Amino acid sequence: MAEVVKMPKMSDTMTEGVMAKWHKKVGDKVKSGDVLAEVETDKATMDLESYWDGTMLYIGVEEGKAVPVDAVIAVIGKEGEDYKAALDAEGTAAPAAAAEAPAKEDEEEAKEAPAAKGAALTDADLEKMGVTVVRMPLLSDTMTEGVIAEWHKKVGDQVKDDDILADVETDKATMEVMGYASGTLLHIGVEKGAAAKVNGIIAIVGPEGTDISGILSQGDAPAKPAADAATAAPVKEAAVAEEPAEAAHTSTDGSRLKASPLAKRIAKEKGIDLSQVAGSADGGRIIKKDIENFKPAAAPAKAEASAATEKATPSIPAFIGEEKYTEKPVTQMRKVIAKRLSESLFTAPHFYLTMSIDMDGAIAARAKINEFSPVKISFNDMVLKAVAVALKQHPNVNSSWLGDKIRYNEHVNIGVAVAVEDGLLVPVVRFADGKSLSHISAEVKDFAQRAKAKKLQPADWEGSTFTISNLGMFGIDEFTAIINPPDACILAIGGISQVPVVKNGAVVPGNVMKVTLSCDHRVVDGATGSAFLQTLKSLLEEPVRLLV
C-alpha cells in the first residue's frame, strides 16, 4: 500500500517548511533511512528521512516552495502502484490530474460565460491595435489621486509622444502629464476640474477611427469631482506658490516657457537656464535633445566686467547618482523571527530596568580562572553563570505567562542568542546553575559553531526559561531586547567601558558594564526585576560567590 509522506513539524515554532532540495526523484528506489530531501525550517536546514521501502511515486512540492506542516509532499509505494487513491484519502489531488481533467462545472461555466467577459483586452492586444491607454501616473509618494487642472489637447487632436496632454494637480504641486504616444486623441476620460484615482484611465491615443468601446467597458470607475467651481478657480495660483521652481521657467518677456519634464530635469542637473534654450518641438517647446545640444553663448563684455567687481559665487557642481536596490525573498527563519517577536512586543507589556555593574572584580577573577581552566572563560560565560545562580534565588523571574496561569520553573535553562547569516538562533544551556564555568564555556562555543554551520537540532533550541543577548563584543554600551516567548524576561548585556568612578570618596578609573532587563509586566513587577538585578550585580562584583 502506498505511504503518504507529510511535512513534519521539526521545531516547536515551525508552521511551514521550504523544500530546499530533493535527493530523490519520481521513479527512484527508496530505503528506510534514506534522505528524501532537505527542508529549510525557521531555525535550520534539516534532512527529511524516509521510514519506508519502495519507489518514489509522486512528488507534490517543487524545490524552493513553502509547505504547511502536515501537508502532503510525496508518496512512496510499489513500482507501478496507483498512488491517487492515497492522495484522495488525504483530500489532495495530484496537480497533473487536476490540470488534465477540469471539473465539469468549470467547463459548463466557461461555455456559458458571455463573450464580453472573455474578451478582455491585454497589453499585447492594445499594441497590435496601435492604441495607448494613458492612466493617471503616480507623481508623488503620497499621491492617491490627481485633479485635471487643464487639458492641452482635445478629442480629435493629433498627438506626438513628447506632447503635454494635461496639467495635473497632485497633493503637492501641479505637474505636466505626457502621453508618450503618437496618434489621435480618441478619448478624454476625466473632465477639467475632476479627479482620477492613480492608474485610472484619463485618455486614450490611437489611430483615428479606432473603436475604443471594448477598452472603456473594462476601465475604471468614473472620476469624481475634486472641488466645486468656487474653490477650483485659484488652483493654478496656489500651485505656483507651492512649486517656485516652475515659476523660474519663464522667458525674458515674462511668458511661460514650454519644456518637457525630462528636459527641465536635465537642465536643472546641468545648471542650464531654460530661457536661453531654443525649443525645436511644436510651439517652440524645449525637449531633451535641445538641452543636450545646447551651447551657452559668450556673456557680454559688460556683464563680465560687472561680475569681476562682485564677489565670486561658489559653484556647486551637479552630481548625478543612480538609485538602485536588491530584493531577496524572506527566509523561513526571518519570517518566524518577525512573527514571534512582533507578537511578543505587541502582546506582552514590556518594561525595562537598566543597572551598571562594577566589573573590576570580574576582570581580576577571570584572569586568575583562565590560568587553570581547560578552556578560555569569557565574560559572557561568567554572566551566564551569575544569571543562573540569581534565577534560583528569584523564581518569579524564571517563569512564563500561560494565559490563565503562570508557570514558575524550578529548573534553569538559559537561551543564548547567537547571530547567524540568516538571522538569530537561541540555543539553550540546560541546568546552567549546576554547571561549572568551563562546562558552560565549552557548551556555548559548541553551540555557536554548530549554529553558524546550520547543524543545530530542535532539541538544542527548545525549552528555555530565560534568555540573554550580549552585544558587548560589538562595542554596544547598552540596548533593550525583545522578550523571547515563552520566557518572561531577557537580559541585554552591553560592553565593559573604562569610565571614571567614585570609590572611597575619590574619582578613579573603573570598568563598568551596563545590563538591561526586559520584563513581561504580566508576570514580573518592577520590584521583582530590580531584586534580581541587585543579586546579579553582587555576584559579578564578587565573583567568588559563584563558587559557593
At 147-179, the pLDDT tens digits run 999 999 999 999 887 788 898 888 777 888 887
Amino acid letter for position 3: E
Q: Report whether 291 contacts 281 (CB < 8 A).
A: no
Which residue, among 428, 465, 470, has the nearest Cα to 450 in the 3D structure? 428
pLDDT at 229 over 70: no
466, 487 contact by CB (below 8 A): yes
Give the helix ranges, DSSP H, for 410-525. 437-452, 458-461
The whole-model pTM stands at 0.55
Give the whole-angstrom CA distance, residue 70 versus residue 73.
9
Question: By the 8 A CB rule, do 174 and 149 touch?
Answer: yes
Render pLDDT for 347-401 as a digit per residue (tens, 0 to 9). 999 999 999 999 999 999 999 999 998 999 999 999 999 999 999 999 999 999 9
Band (92; pLDDT cuts 50, 70, 90): low
Supply the mean pLDDT for the chain. 81
Domains of the chain: 3-90 (2.40.50.100), 123-208 (2.40.50.100), 334-546 (3.30.559.10)
Given 23, 411, 439, 521, which residue is catalytic?
A: 521
Q: Of the listed 12, 157, 211, 525, which one is catalytic?
A: 525
Rounded mean pLDDT of 124-146? 82
d(CA 75, CA 388): 48
Please, what's the b/e burial string for 219-240 (b: 16 or more CB within 10 A of its CB; e: otherwise)? Answer: bbeebeebeeeeebeebeeebe
pLDDT in tens, 501-518: 888 889 999 999 999 999
Contact present, 61 and 48 (Cβ < 8 Å): no
d(CA 396, CA 406): 9
Asked about 521 being catalytic, the answer comes back as: yes
Assess whether 70 carries a catalytic annotation.
no
In this predicted structure, what is the pLDDT of residue 115? 41
Residue 105, helix vs strand vs coil: helix
Task: Find out whether 467 and 414 touch, Cβ atoms under 8 Å.
Answer: yes
Tell me: the pLDDT tens digits for 443-467?
999 999 988 888 888 889 889 999 9
225 upstream amide cis, omega within 30 of 0: no
